């Protein structure tokens, strides 16, 4: 039954259906059946966009949807983390400010260029009209550590680091008045968490910190918007279950001295019955398990993925 898998998501070419919906008084969700989401906050005097889409051409569709509900200026872009698929559309919004955690800024300095090349190679469909991306990096204009508050008129917008998980710099956008959260890739729904740059041993605690806010609505990084407390709880539990199960399997295997490829095969077999139907499962598993194995052995911090390392790893695990 084994057949050669195409590298990452190079064979995933089917366009997704977009949904743009209001999830609370000031928040909208732009979702795409498991492709990366964008969260939108419309305040009294300005609009904030969290995560931009992968290219300016794709961001133009987000802008068109925003313009069906408001003509207020899009002043702020928040980068929930540094991944190319989240940030490279930023220029389309012509924002006054691009906000990111200092940790995210540091990751852009350290590995932004490599990540850009790597992500475009893995998933070409997600970078439609990639030539519309300006050369170089998307640089934040405001950085913060821990938390900051933005007032859009009378609307309080908290921009928070609740701990590491998907990356070192993970940031969420929180509307305390309406208990609405834009989580970035810290939370996924019916979509496989990408954990190639993750901190597995921190992520579950960070999800507890999100749960402690008691969100009533949440825009995950991928998958449908969660618009009631029970759905939010399900999204958090699914993400936490996947991360914990994967890491427990991999660290147990690594402790026995098994090599990465052996641990990879065992872990995929173990997790597939529960999670195999989530989108990008086959894409993520080689990256996620490589990182988990690193974290369980001798790399507390994620190693930089390059286009070359991606292909080398894929060949060694999928052959
Ligand atoms: Zn990401």
Question: How far is ligand 1, taken at its centre, from the CA of residue 174, in Å?
Answer: 18
Question: How far is ligand 1, taken at its centre, from the CA of residue 194, in Å?
Answer: 7
Whole-number pLDDT of residue 319: 81
Contact 92, 283 (CB under 8 A): no
Whole-number pLDDT of residue 4: 58
Instruction: Label residue 232 left, alpha or beta by phi (over 0 means left) and psi (-120 to 50 means alpha).
Output: alpha
Name the nearest CA neighbour of 204 among 178, 156, 233, 237: 237
Tell me the pLDDT tens digit for each residue of 253-292.
999 999 999 999 999 999 999 999 999 999 999 999 999 9
Question: How far is ligand 1, taken at its centre, from the CA of residue 56, in Å?
Answer: 18
Rounded CA gap, 46 and 110, in Å? 32
Question: How far is ligand 1, taken at its centre, from the CA of residue 237, in Å?
Answer: 19
Neighbours of 214 (CB within 10 A): 11
Tell me the pLDDT tens digit for each residue of 65-83.
999 999 999 999 999 999 9
Rounded CA gap, 62 and 319, in Å? 40
88: helix, coil or strand? coil
Question: How far is ligand 1, taken at its centre, from the CA of residue 163, in Å?
Answer: 15
* Structure-block tokens of residue 98: 């691009």
Question: How far is ligand 1, taken at its centre, from the CA of residue 167, in Å?
Answer: 8
Question: How far is ligand 1, taken at its centre, from the CA of residue 32, in Å?
Answer: 15
Rounded CA gap, 219 and 183, in Å? 6
Question: How far is ligand 1, taken at its centre, from the CA of residue 1, in Å?
Answer: 31
End-to-end CA distance of the chain: 14
* Structure-block tokens of residue 165: 């998980």
Question: How far is ligand 1, taken at its centre, from the CA of residue 153, in Å?
Answer: 30
Question: How far is ligand 1, taken at its centre, from the CA of residue 101, in Å?
Answer: 14
Rounded CA gap, 98 and 87, in Å? 10
Low-confidence ranges of the chain (pLDDT < 70): 1-4, 13
Question: How far is ligand 1, taken at its centre, from the CA of residue 80, in Å?
Answer: 8
Distance from the Cα of residue 258 to its chain's centroid: 30
Question: How far is ligand 1, taken at its centre, from the CA of residue 15, in Å?
Answer: 20
Strand partners, 174: 158, 181
Question: How far is ligand 1, taken at its centre, from the CA of residue 265, in Å?
Answer: 24
Question: How far is ligand 1, taken at its centre, from the CA of residue 185, in Å?
Answer: 5
* Structure-block tokens of residue 55: 């290219």
Rounded CA gap, 112 and 109, in Å? 6
- Non-local (6+) Cβ contacts of 31 within 8 A are 18, 19, 20, 21, 37, 219, 223, 224, 225
Whole-number pLDDT of residue 2: 43
Rounded CA gap, 170 and 162, in Å? 8
- Give the ranges where the chain is alpha helix by DSSP (H): 56-66, 84-87, 102-122, 203-212, 229-255, 260-275, 281-296, 307-318
Rounded CA gap, 318 and 290, in Å? 12
Rounded CA gap, 278 and 223, in Å? 10
Whole-number pLDDT of residue 7: 76
* Residue whose structure tokens are 């911090």: 301
């Amino acid at each position: 039954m084994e057949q050669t898998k195409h590298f990452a998501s190079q064979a995933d070419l089917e366009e997704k259906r977009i949904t743009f919906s209001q999830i609370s008084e000031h928040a909208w969700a732009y979702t795409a059946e498991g492709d990366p989401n964008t969260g939108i906050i419309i305040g009294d005097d300005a609009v904030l966009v969290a995560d931009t889409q992968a290219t300016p051409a794709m961001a133009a569709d987000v802008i068109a949807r925003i313009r069906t509900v408001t003509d207020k200026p899009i002043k702020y872009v928040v980068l929930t983390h540094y991944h190319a698929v989240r940030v490279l559309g930023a220029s389309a919004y012509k924002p006054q400010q691009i906000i990111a955690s200092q940790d995210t800024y540091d990751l852009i300095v350290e590995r932004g260029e490599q990540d850009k090349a790597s992500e475009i190679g893995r998933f070409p469909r997600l970078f439609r009209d990639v030539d519309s991306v300006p050369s170089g990096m998307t640089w934040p204009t405001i950085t913060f550590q821990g938390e900051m508050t933005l007032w859009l008129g009378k609307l309080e917008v908290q921009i928070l680091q609740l701990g590491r998980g998907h990356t070192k710099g993970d940031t969420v956008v929180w509307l305390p008045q309406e208990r609405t959260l834009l989580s970035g890739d810290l939370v996924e729904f019916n979509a496989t968490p990408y954990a190639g740059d993750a901190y597995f041993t921190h992520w579950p605690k960070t999800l507890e910190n999100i749960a402690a806010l008691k969100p009533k609505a949440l825009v995950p990084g991928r998958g449908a918007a969660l618009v009631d407390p029970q759905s939010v709880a399900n999204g958090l539990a699914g993400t936490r279950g996947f991360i914990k199960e994967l890491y427990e399997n991999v660290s147990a295997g690594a402790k026995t001295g098994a090599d990465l490829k052996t641990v990879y095969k065992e872990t995929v077999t173990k997790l597939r019955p529960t999670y195999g139907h989530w989108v990008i499962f086959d894409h993520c598993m080689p990256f996620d398990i490589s990182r988990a194995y690193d974290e369980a052995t001798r790399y507390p911090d994620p190693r930089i993925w390059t286009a070359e390392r991606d292909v080398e790893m894929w060949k060694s695990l999928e052959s």
